[in-house]
Amino acid sequence: MSDGKITIKTEFQMELMRVAGELVGKTLKMLEGMVKVGVTTKELDEAAEEFIRSHGGVPSFLNYDGFPASICTSVNEQVVHGIPSKKVRLKDGDIISIDCGAIVDGFHGDAARTFLVGNVAPEVRELVEVTKECFFKGFEQAQPGNHIRDIARAVQTHAESHGYGVVRELVGHGIGTNMHEAPEVPNFVDVRMGRGAKLIPGMAIAVEPMINLGSRRVQVLSDGWTCVAFDGKPSAHYENTIFITKNGPEILTNPIE
């Protein structure tokens, strides 16, 4: 994380971030077309790196704190930070959350989607759809003059109304020349957070609901990265980088519909 200072972007910096965000969105769209039964998560990672570099970017995640890949590929009960592998081959009925970041001209874009693989059980499809809805509930609250808590409450209320667990150990974040900047953007309300930072034009944040079909509890595997749902039930992730503007929030990372 950063030194705790929230950075306000200039119009020029906002344009640079739009370019980085667009590249992330295009990369995820390309990967969506590759997600099918039999593909390995390593193949997805290699395709993402080639796509990002061929479009003038650098993968944000590669070697970030030692992370060994260009994207995170989290399958089924894996919440986030799954490491791509030649040994992990997608199966019918899986879901895969892909988290992707790119740097262009010194600025980061960051987004995640959960994709369906073949014939996915109805209750898991619903989890994926509601997680996406949770993002947009939070997005609606990202208005100038509101506070981080307004986003957090909207996400949590929608997820819990469906009986899902909202992950608390991992949160959204500010973003700019660093991938993780202030402020933190939780998906839940905690009395200790107060109202959270006030949203003002020029702020850039990544809002990223991580929602579990069962309990909100998670654990990190022995690889030191992969975070999984403690009860082994599926988890979904949906993220976009957004700007706070005087006219409301703007999505930079090309949401895939």
132-160 pLDDT per residue, tens: 999 999 999 999 999 999 999 999 999 99
pLDDT of 3 reads: 57
pLDDT of 158 reads: 98
On the question of pLDDT at 255 being above 70, the answer is: no
As a whole-number percent, the residues of the chain with pLDDT over 90 amount to 95
Beta strands in 76-193 (DSSP E): 78-80, 95-104, 107-116, 165-166, 172-174, 181-185
Least confident range from 85-94, 178-187, 217-226, 248-257: namely 248-257
On the question of pLDDT at 33 being above 60, the answer is: yes
Confidence of residue 229 (pLDDT cuts 50, 70, 90): very high
Give the pairing of strands 165-166 and 210-212: antiparallel
pLDDT of 1 reads: 44
Q: Which of 197, 229, 206, 194 is nearest to 138 (CA)?
A: 206
Please say whether the beta carbons of 217 and 68 come within 8 A. no
User: In whole angstroms, what is the distance from residue 95 CA to residue 148 CA?
Assistant: 29
pLDDT mean across residues, the chain: 96
On the question of pLDDT at 58 being above 60, the answer is: yes
pLDDT of 35 reads: 98
**198 pairs with which residues across the strands?**
147
pLDDT of 193 reads: 83
Q: What is the mean pLDDT of residues 178-186?
A: 97
Residue 123, burial from CB neighbour count under 10 angstroms (0-12, 13-18, 19+) = exposed
Confidence of residue 256 (pLDDT cuts 50, 70, 90): low
